[in-house]
Structure formats: structure tokens, C-alpha cells
Amino acid sequence: MIMPVRNTVLDIINLGVALPAGADRPFAVRNISFHVDTGEIVCLLGESGSGKSIIAQTVMGLLPKSIRATEGEVRLLGEDVLRYAPDQLRAVRGVRMSMIFQEPMTALNPVMTCGEQVDEMLTQHTALDAGARRKRILEVFADVKLPEPERIYASYPHQLSGGQRQRIMIAMALILEPALLIADEPTTALDVTTQAEILRLIRQLQREHQTGVLFITHDMGVVAEIADRVVVLQLCCNRRSSRTPRCCSTRCRASIRRRAWWRPSRSRRRYSPCASSRRPTWDATGSGASAKSLRRSMST
């Protein structure tokens, strides 16, 4: 039998991230294992505080100094980024992996125009001259469906709407065609219509470029809209480390069902139904009866 070739972009193996002394628990996350393949969107789903952003920051090498990955491996295109020196990390950020944040205002520089900020990335990572860089930036602004790319190029972040700022972040994240895109709740701060547009855009660009996407969310509607596969984090029911999140197993399903975020609200119509052609599959480490019940409730 011929097995399909799996091109893994990101492979996280038994990751454990230690918190500083005095934090609410010793480890932010522990025993985390999952992967993201080329051309798929994996949703990392978990309640607030379960460690989703910590995992994203670990992959990107953006953890604060007081927090350290002490266990496991984070393989980006086969190489363990936990062993990278800071300059190696800087070289791959934006090129092999990039990230979109929940609030673009915190990630954009308020005193530089949007065009200048994207230009900085191209200057750093390519040998293009000024004219070619400007042309490329205007093309990408058009790709992410920003109106009047010339005007947007010369605008400061505060002169744009929230949705437009998020499109700038997407343009910046994808301009160097990274293999991995991490999106940490990129639509949470947006209204429902803009949220749907941004999700469609991420899905469209991901398909065009075959990017592997790790999409972080606690929103079941977003999962229904965008996920190919889902990995669930929850506060662990492992007795020895009673409050350390990890990828959940069937042992945890009773506890998962009790979590509010696990139950999609039937009154919020935009959360359902999950289009029949867009049913996500569930990662083995996050599967079991609980996953089935969620999938059922998403399709009703």
C-alpha cells in the first residue's frame, strides 16, 4: 500500500514550558505533542489561560526571559528551534515562520507608515531594490484586499480600521511566503462581518501558498469555519500535576464537557451549522468521545 507523503512543517514533541517561581503553576504547559503539515489549518483550541499563546511564543522564540521551554522539541521544517541561537531565530522569523497577533495595534509601530513597516521586513530579508520592494508591497496589499494600496502604504496604523490593520499584519506575515503561519486569536477583536472576511482571507491565502497554519482560538465558531484538524488543550486532570494544561485524552473527557467553552451555544447562529464540506478531523491526542460529541454538536 502506498502511504501518502506527510510534509510536516511544525512538529511539537513533549513540550514543557516552565513558569517563573511564584506563578500560578510550575509549568504553563507540559507533555504537548502535535504537528502541522503543509497546506493544512490546525486549530489549537483551549480555554483562557490554558497556554495557547505560550506555545505560540515558544515556537516563535518570543518567550519573555523568565519563561523557558525546559522539556521536549519544537521542530520547524525538521530543525529544533529550541536549540537556535537568537540570531538564527531572527533569521527564520518572517521567512520560515511568522505570526499574526490578536491586537494589531500592539504589533505595529505607531510612528511608521504601514508601507515602511512592511518595507523594513523586505529590506532585512531580501536583496530587492527600493522600487521592487514598493511594487511587491503594493501587490501584497492588493492580495489581502486592502482598498487603495497606495494610500494605505502612506497611512499610519491609527488611520486605518481594525480590520484593515489586521490585513496589514497578514500582508506582513505572508509577504516572504513562510512555511508556517501562527495566528493567535487574530479575529477576536473584530466585528462578526470583518471576522468572517479575515477568516476567508487566511483560508484563501493559505490554500494559494500551501502554508501550514496553526490557528489559536477559544471560539468554536472559528473552529467550525476554518479548521482541517483540531488540537484541544485543557487544564489537566493528571493528579501529579493537577493544573498543567496538556493535549487532552479520553481520560479527560468528563472534565472537558464541564468547560463552558466546550459547549457551543445554540443561540449563537453563526457558530453552526458547520458546513458539511468543512468538517475538521480531530488530532489523536485531542480525540475521543469528547471530540465526537463536539463534532456532533457543531453539525446540528
Ligand X SMILES: Nc1ncnc2c1ncn2[C@@H]1O[C@H](COP(=O)(O)OP(=O)(O)OP(=O)(O)O)[C@@H](O)[C@H]1O
List residues binding ligand X (CB under 6 A). Answer: 19-20, 23-24, 28, 46, 48-54, 64, 66-67, 218
| Residues 6 or more apart in contact with residue 281 via CB below 8 angstroms | 228, 229, 230
CB of 236 to ligand X, least distance (A): 13
Number of residues that bind Mg ion (CB under 5 A): 1
Based on the shown chain and the rule CB under 5 A, indicate whether residue 187 belongs to the binding site for Mg ion: no
Q: Look at residues 44, 45, 59, 54 and name the one whose alpha carbon lies nearest to residue 24.
A: 54
In the complex with Mg ion, which residue's Cβ is closer, 103 or 177? 103
| Residues 6 or more apart in contact with residue 71 via CB below 8 angstroms | 14, 15, 16, 30
| From Mg ion, ligand X, none, interface partner of 19 (C-beta below 5 to 8 A by class) | ligand X
Provide the 8-state DSSP code for 117: H
Query: Residues 163, 197: contact at Cβ < 8 Å?
Result: yes
CB of 42 to ligand X, least distance (A): 16
CB of 263 to ligand X, least distance (A): 17
In the complex with ligand X, which residue's Cβ is closer, 52 or 253? 52
Print burial letters for 20-52: b (CB count within 10 Å at least 16), e (below 16). eeeeebebbbbbbbbbbbbebbbbbbbbeebbb
In the complex with Mg ion, which residue's Cβ is closer, 217 or 249? 217
Q: Look at residues 243, 198, 246 and name the one whose alpha carbon lies nearest to residue 225.
A: 198
- Window 48 to 77, contacts with Mg ion (CB under 5 A): 53
CB of 62 to Mg ion, least distance (A): 12
- Other CB atoms within 10 A of residue 196 CB: 16
Query: What amino acid is encoded at 123 in this protein?
Result: T
In the complex with ligand X, which residue's Cβ is closer, 23 or 275? 23
Chain Cα centroid distance, residue 102 = 10
CB of 175 to ligand X, least distance (A): 26
Three-state DSSP at 137 gives: helix
| From Mg ion, ligand X, none, interface partner of 51 (C-beta below 5 to 8 A by class) | ligand X
CB of 22 to ligand X, least distance (A): 8
| From ligand X, Mg ion, none, interface partner of 253 (C-beta below 5 to 8 A by class) | none
The site for Mg ion (CB under 5 A) is made up of 53
